[in-house]
Amino acid sequence: MGRTVILGAGELGGRVARLRAAAGDRVVGHTRSAARHPALIADGVEARTGLPDDRAADDRLLIALPGADRQMMAVAALRNRPPPARVVFVSSTGYYGAPRGDVDEDTPPGTSDRAQRNAAAERAFAAWAGDRGVIVRLGGLYRPGRGPLSALAKSKRVPPGPPDKTLALIHYDDAAAATAAALVHPDPRPVYLAVTPPCPLRRDFYLAATVILGLDLPGFDRPRGGPPAVYDVRRLRSDLLAEPMHPRWQGALVPGPAS
């Protein structure tokens, strides 16, 4: 069983913490503030603020802070100590920028600033963690009340972008199940793409979303043309998540309480 440390026990990390606590691990969840601590403690997770201290000997570590820059900072803070036996790093399909056609773990990073920041954070992590490290590249996360539908409900504006770009999506529960599996898989690959295909085009998602929310129908940038991205998740399916619990992207159109 052993000890699992979750750096960033928020929506995703908190779910992973609960899964590992239910499996019998001693789990320590780190957050920035104490707001989530009562809920974590109620589920058997030890709650702390800030980064893990130097003396902690972890069997497993998950790094799930929001955004590539904070992920990079976490690696910088940890790199003077040896990596634990298994360390999982949450990255994003933002790594690919605006890909076309087939996309898998070996597809190179995009050229946008965001893609390059994701790629730099992954490189820094891999240099520290070596063969103890696993990168999980997650698509856009959703659950009722959180994700692109809720973002649109708040902003009332469809984010700029072409109509024919694929919107990579995965439900929080599936992302957490895959990430928790990466913490304990006996022989994982170095990188997994974690998305739930088939994914919608932005046009299909945002047309439906504006109708559901009673907003004006969206305008889009010019179509990009060329084949939209198709995400290949065979490695995810074979090693970490055989069957998604939420296989249909339309689940991302379910409104929920804002949070």
Task: Note the residues at the interface with ligand NAP (CB under 6 A).
Answer: 8-13, 30-33, 35-36, 50-51, 64-67, 70-71, 90, 92, 138, 140-141
Nearer CB in complex with ligand NAP: 45/64: 64
Nearer CB in complex with ligand NAP: 55/222: 55
Nearest approach, Cβ of 185 to ligand NAP (angstroms)?
Answer: 19
Nearer CB in complex with ligand NAP: 49/250: 49
Nearest approach, Cβ of 64 to ligand NAP (angstroms)?
Answer: 4
Query: Tokens 């056609």 — which residue?
Result: 101
Nearest approach, Cβ of 206 to ligand NAP (angstroms)?
Answer: 16
Nearer CB in complex with ligand NAP: 92/107: 92
Q: What angle do CA 252, 191, 7 make, to 5 degrees?
A: 70
Nearer CB in complex with ligand NAP: 193/226: 193
Residue number of the CB atom closest to ligand NAP? 10
Nearer CB in complex with ligand NAP: 64/78: 64
Question: How far is the C-alpha of 84 from the C-alpha of 67, rounded, in Å?
Answer: 22
Nearest approach, Cβ of 202 to ligand NAP (angstroms)?
Answer: 15
Nearest approach, Cβ of 66 to ligand NAP (angstroms)?
Answer: 4
Nearest approach, Cβ of 175 to ligand NAP (angstroms)?
Answer: 7
Is residue 59 a contact partner of residue 4, using CB atoms and an 8 Å limit?
yes
